[in-house]
Amino acid sequence: MKHFFPLLTTAALAFTINASAAIEDNYIEKYGRLNLNGKMFNGDPNNRQLSDKDGNAIRLEGWSSSAWMSQWGDCHQKRHLEQMKQWGARVYRGAMFITEEGGYNDNKEEAINQTKTFIDQTAELGMYYICDWHMKEGNPNDEVYSDAPYYFKTISEYVKSKGYIHVLYEICNEPNGCTWSDIKQYADKILPIIQENDPGACVIVGTPQWDQNINEAQENPIQGYDNLNILYSFHYYACSHQQFLSRLVNAAKVIPVFISEWSIADFDPEQQNSRKVESSCYTSAEQLINIANGTAGQQISWCASSFSEKESQASSLMSCENMKLSNTGMEIFSLLPWICCEPPCCLGPCYENLCQEVPGIVDLGRYDMNEEGNVEDMGFGKIGSSYVGGGEGVAYHELNSYSDEKNDRSLCNGAFKQADEDFFFRQDECVDAKACYGFTGQEGWHNLCYIEPEEWIAITLDIQEPGYYSIEALCNFGSKQVFGITSITYNCNLLVDKSNDKELNQIAFVSEVPDHGDENDKYWEWTAPVTDLDTKGDASNYAVLFKETGKHTIKITFQDGIETKPAGDLGPLNFTKVKAYNGLGYDTKNEDYLSFDNSLIFPNPSNGNISVATAGELIITDLIGEVVFSAQVEANTEISTHLKAGNYIAKVKTTNAVKVAKIIIK
């Protein structure tokens, strides 16, 4: 099995939309009416930040459109918003151009109706919406922007009539060539209108010099609007604006800030017209997000620009039609608070669109599909509508450290060379899967061969009944495997000891099939599990617990193999229900991995040096539940974890509670 790095930065990182699987979380119900009346930051009782209905500090992350009236296809249909939410966005900023590209001034009625549509759709999806008056040049008091009072009056009246609480108003995007006094004069025209129609709303006010001179707002904030929550905008282009980060840090200590537009791109439009992004830009983006994560004392919400397909550094998508993420989009995705599962969030369909049922036999060779569609020939071969290596890091992870001279796997076509009778099975992918040929000659099952530690596959199962399931493995001569089974859908371990419900990290199988020489592939036996490869202890109480029926994506991660070489084989798994389950579902689990506290760990992502907001016992596990770091920690004290790059779950146990966060080490 071979890891193909050239594909990981292009086609292998693209995955398709699955609008029907949009996340169910309703953030509007969860967080309620946002306000600035919540918890203080930096210890100053006069300094407050964006908070939820209960006064808890909150940070919204999401995308901004580029210009939803543009001719180059801004991805803003409802299905795009659903996918945006599934990727972790809790807020959408609709950038409505005023004078450019067929904007508001060209068709006011259409622009107002489109704004209302976005407001309705985000309300239905449970996302927050930023209504952005997207002026690009000049003073907001200029004649070309004179319709702003009418626009905000119309929209705020609509919000009031519908009883919505999820709309934020950004009253002037990137004012420039004017003073802070000019902007305040403009704000005094708009704020009373919003205050009358939508009292208690959050309003984002632009700052001079394309939202870079936030220091001027810091020195002289707007006063006199007690029934509004006023935040100040800061914009950032990671390839160009590093020198402005100190202004953001200083402002975040004094006034409420909203990074309503930022991008991994150059600010110069001439430089943007390319997909190429220098590595220094990604580093600069991480510096911004570290600040947003609270290093300046305030959790700062942000919208990445842009959710569009324009040929540009800033565009997160390659195509609005099939929703392929660009390299920039993948980086933005990695910074979002993944809600639905371990990334990549949206796996492809079940193999041949047929999800295997449990109870029953699960063919490991029928792991999930990745992408279907036309792709470029990357130099590794283009076969049908898929591509060589296309599922790496999405539906599987493959290695190829074992030298195999007999079967040429130089193009990572393990299945192509190894499939025996099933010669064409998944030949366009890297996985070493082949037929369990000779078992009875009828089943058509497959086994994984040359399995190495750290490889994994993802399979979506159709769970018919909740319960505890025993598993057997189909093994042939020499099969020795240790693996974990985790839930991608619910981000938790599935292996348990059914006698006490204690979670387990692994299960092992050791074959007792005798050596049949060259015909070993024809001899397979169902094998009961053991605790490990050394003691081969009794594992009769080991089970897989599915708490709910329906589609459930699991991840099987291989941890160890046979002793004489770093590879081994394993056939299908047989899931048999052995005990009923009538307890709580995953969504109400006490340790609730679905209730992440995004403010617990900072910076996040990090290089492994982190601070914890709450003192207590810190336990960090990998995504298969293995403890990789633990220590007693003090609040706001930097800790060196020395963890390798990856995604982890952090728990902080205090006397009264357990707090959980998902963290990223880069």
Residues forming the active site = 174, 261
Dihedral angle over CA of 181, 187, 189, 192, nearest 10: -140
Dihedral angle over CA of 159, 161, 162, 165, nearest 10: 40
Distance CA 592, CA 548 (A): 15
The answer to whether the beta carbons of residues 621 and 639 sit under 8 Å apart is: no
Distance CA 374, CA 324 (A): 12
Structure-token pair, residue 206: 């632009």
Helices (H) and strands (E) in the chain, counts: 13, 34
Burial of residue 24 (number of CB atoms within 10 Å: 0-12, 13-18, 19+)? exposed
- DSSP, collapsed to helix, strand or coil, labels residue 567 as coil
Structure-token pair, residue 240: 């160009």
Buried residues in 600-617 as b, exposed as e (16+ CB within 10 A): bbbbbbbebebbbbbebe
- DSSP category for residue 308: B
User: What is the layout of strands, in order, in the sheet containing 433-435?
Assistant: 433-435, 446-451, 568-570
Residues 6+ apart with CB under 8 A from 501: 545
Residues 6+ apart with CB under 8 A from 266: 237, 239, 240, 272, 281, 313
- DSSP, collapsed to helix, strand or coil, labels residue 651 as strand
Distance CA 571, CA 366 (A): 11
- End-to-end Cα distance, the chain: 25
Distance CA 372, CA 390 (A): 10
Report the interhelical angle of 148-162 vs 180-197 (nearest 10°). 30
- 156 sits in which H/E element: helix 148-162
Distance CA 63, CA 66 (A): 9
467-475 and 542-546 strand pairing: antiparallel
